[in-house]
Structure 1
Amino acid sequence: MNAQRSGLTAEVGRKVGRAEKLASRIPMIGDRADRKDVVAVVRLHGVINPQPSPLARGVINLAAVESALTRAFSHDRLKAVALQINSPGGAPTQSGLIAERIRQLADKHDKPVIAFAEDLAASGGYWLACAADEIYAHRTSMVGSIGVITGGFGFANLLERFGIERRLYTAGENKSRLDPFSPEKAEDVEWLHKLHNELHDMFVGWVKERRGDRLTADKDLFTGDIWLGARALELGLIDGLGNLRTVIGERFPDAEIVFAEPKKPLLARLGVGAPAAALFEAAVNRATWARFGL
């Protein structure tokens, strides 16, 4: 009996010893001297669209990126947040909401934000870039397109050709502005131009607010034109040429680059999509990218 007890005691002692040895190799969270500083990267890739994507691909809106932004700014050893932007633009309201949220988090945590344009930071994509304190682009990146655009089709003659009668009933004389199945009205076009000008003024104001005296006085700066990286640098639209890893490596050589990913919708997590919705979304996104030859 004593021998059994002695053997059991010895075995317990060996297990405790192994556990203590293993534990000694794992630094406590608060005592780790080798923990690296962090630069958190948020990907802003796709068309800016208020409508959610069934697979969370190719669409940027506040609901889609909120969780990624929150995670990016939540690191306890955060040195900076990098925005990896590849977007042809899209909805102005979502562009503004995301940019404002970035600034709110940056001010709250007192951390610098650096934007990196990849293939394209155009229109709303450039609006997002201006939320950063500094903007970098590759020499082949396309940057700018500070303007407003609306596109559509008119089907009035098509309906007449096939003998289809359009029936439209409204309360309010302007409720049916720009109806694609009715003849275009000059006053509707004038109203749309006025709306465009108001949005354009907001866009220009935002760029001037964020870029300040870094901007040049070039007459084409706010015409909706787009430029490659080197010319964008000359115009003051960006602060330098370079890519994310090179610039971050030089600025924060001891920091670890980590990617803050957004929470995926349920369908995306299950690997299931809505085929019809996905096809339509892909067609719309394709047309938006095609405006820039991409």
Structure 2
Amino acid sequence: MSVNDSSCPVSSAAQNAVLTQFASAYLAQQRREQRWRWFWRLVWLGVAGALLALNWPGMTAHKAPSASHTALVEVRGAISADAEASADRLMASLRDAFEDHGAQAVVLRINSPGGSPVQAGLVNDEIRRLKGLHKKPVYAVCEEMCASAAYYIAVAADEIYVDKASIVGSIGVLMDGFGFVGIMDKLGVERRLMTSGSNKGMLDPYSPRDPQQEQYAQSMLDQIHEQFIEVVRAGRGKRLKQDDTTFSGLFWNGQQAVGLGLADHLGSLDQVARDVVKVEDIVDYTQREDLTERLAKRFGAAMGLGAVEALRGGWQWR
């Protein structure tokens, strides 16, 4: 059965009332959405303002004029460009420490398994430059571990203090990886690698080993190892009791390290400040990750992008 529209007439007034009601409801919904948008924009702006206040330059205590103290710079965790113990952070911390007239000495408190020789080399060079510029003594205090690149940094100090059970040394360089050629053969997987240079795919884990490329890589590692050795010899001088194991990559406990001349004394940060620097007040100059960086790492980039998009969207006219 069909219905003819002309048989169910609707008055113009009724139509206008329906349209008016619909328009009012739509506008009310838009106003509610707009209010919520502004609410969340203000929340994000408040969070951003709080983060800026917490991390505003000059807010840290050591920036204020200080009395006589022992300056502390922490070297913790892996030493790499994207870590807290990066050359950029450590060098900035060291400059702050050396430039403070109240700092009577700079102490590096180290607890690190090592990392990048490039980052460690940059820090070592900067320590030696700052020592010559400001004429302040530098002491390294090694806690649980001071190995590889961390020891590379430590030897820039005038003296190295360790705990008797600290792990010290590992003066060597490594390059590691995996080879998957055998597994690929068993699975019937073919590697199709195209390069514009004969060595562009050097040490590719999915390609067969190339003795010439491995020999080249080994010579490069040997050169970096020799650079490490020269830095240790320059830093330790005649105190170093060198034998066949010194630069083999072996590591020792703190007590052994003192006996081998890799370290000078047993001692802690407080002991060095009290008995060596003779200034017990310790001021920490270490530049650490700010709250925004920690939040980004904890919650991931996606949340950070969401916040950016929310703030970005807040300035669009609607």
- TM-score where L is the length of structure 1: 0.75
Output the CA distance in 1 between the equivalents of 2:71 and 2:214.
45
Letter in 2 for 1:45: R
Give 2:246's aligned residue. Answer: 221
Any idea what SS the aligned residue of 2:297 has? Answer: coil
Q: Is 2:297 the partner of 1:273?
A: yes
1:253 Cα offset (Å):
3.0
- In the TM superposition, residue 37 of structure 1 has moved relative to its aligned partner by 1.2
Cα-Cα RMSD:
2.0
CA drift of 1:256 comes to 1.4
Instruction: Report the alpha carbon displacement of residue 217 of structure 1 after superposing the two structures with TM.
Output: 3.1
C-alpha distance in 1 between matches for 2:277 and 2:79: 30
User: Aligned residue for 1:184?
Assistant: 209
Aligned to 1:114: 139
SS of aligned partner of 1:227: strand
Larger CA deviation: 192-201 vs 202-211: 192-201
3-state SS of paired residue (2:231): helix
Q: Within 2, Cα distance between the matches of 1:164 and 1:266?
A: 46
Which SS does the other structure have where 1:237 is aligned? coil
Q: Is the CA contact (8 Å cut-off) linking 2:105 and 2:138 kept in structure 1?
A: yes
Number of the residue aligned with 2:195? 170
Q: 2:68 aligns with which of 21, 28, 37?
A: 37
Alpha carbons 1:68, 1:263 under 8 Å: kept: no
Is the CA contact (8 Å cut-off) linking 1:135 and 1:238 kept in structure 2?
yes
- Equivalent residues of 1:81, 1:114 under 8 A apart: yes
Q: How many residues align?
A: 238
Aligned to 1:99: 124
Following TM superposition, by how much is the alpha carbon of 1:275 offset from its aligned partner in structure 2, in angstroms? 5.2
**Higher RCO (Cα < 8 Å, 6 or more apart):** 1
**Offset, 1:221:** 1.1
Q: In the aligned structure 1, how far is the partner of 2:70 from the partner of 2:267?
A: 16
Look up the SS of the partner of 1:128 in the other structure: helix
Cα distance between partner residues in 1 of 2:300 and 2:280: 43
For 1:173-252, list aligned pairs within 5 A: 173-252=198-277
The structure number with the bigger radius of gyration is 2
Q: Distance in 1 between matches of 2:286 and 2:259?
A: 33
Contact 2:273 2:279 in 1 (8 A): no
8 A Cα contact 1:36 1:254, kept in partner: no
For residues 221 and 159 of structure 2, what CA distance do their matches in structure 1 show?
A: 28
Q: Superposed, which structure 2 residues align to 1:38-117 within 5 Å?
A: 38-50=69-81, 52-53=82-83, 56=84, 60-117=85-142
Which one of 154, 162, 166 corresponds to residue 137 of structure 1? 162
Aligned residues with identical type, % of pairs: 38
Q: How much has 1:85 moved relative to structure 2?
A: 0.7
In structure 2, distance between residues paired with 1:93 and 1:70: 19
More helix by share: 2
Equivalent residue, structure 1, for 2:311: none
Q: Distance in 2 between matches of 1:222 and 1:259?
A: 33
Q: Deviations over 1:6-55 (max 9, x none)?
A: xxxxxxxxxxxxxxxxxxxxxxx99xxxx7411110000011122x14xx
Structure 1 gaps, min length 5: 1-28, 278-294
- 1:274 deviates by 5.5
Give the whole-Å Cα distance in 1 for the aligned partners of 2:197 and 2:296.
43
Question: Amino acid of the residue matched to residue 91 of structure 1?
Answer: S
Q: Which letter does structure 2 place at the counterpart of 1:182?
A: S
- Is contact 1:36-1:256 (8 Å) kept? no
TM-score, normalised with respect to structure 2: 0.70
Asked if structure 2 preserves the Cα contact closer than 8 Å seen for 1:218 and 1:235, the reply is: no
Deviations 1:77-120 (A, max 9, x none): 12100001111111111110111111112211111110011111
Which amino acid counterpart does residue 244 of structure 2 have in structure 1?
Answer: K
Measured after TM superposition, the shift of residue 145 of structure 1 is 0.7
For 2:236 and 2:127, how far apart are their aligned partners in 1?
A: 16
Secondary structure of the structure 1 residue equivalent to 2:126: helix
C-alpha separation between the residues in 1 aligned to 2:97 and 2:279?
18
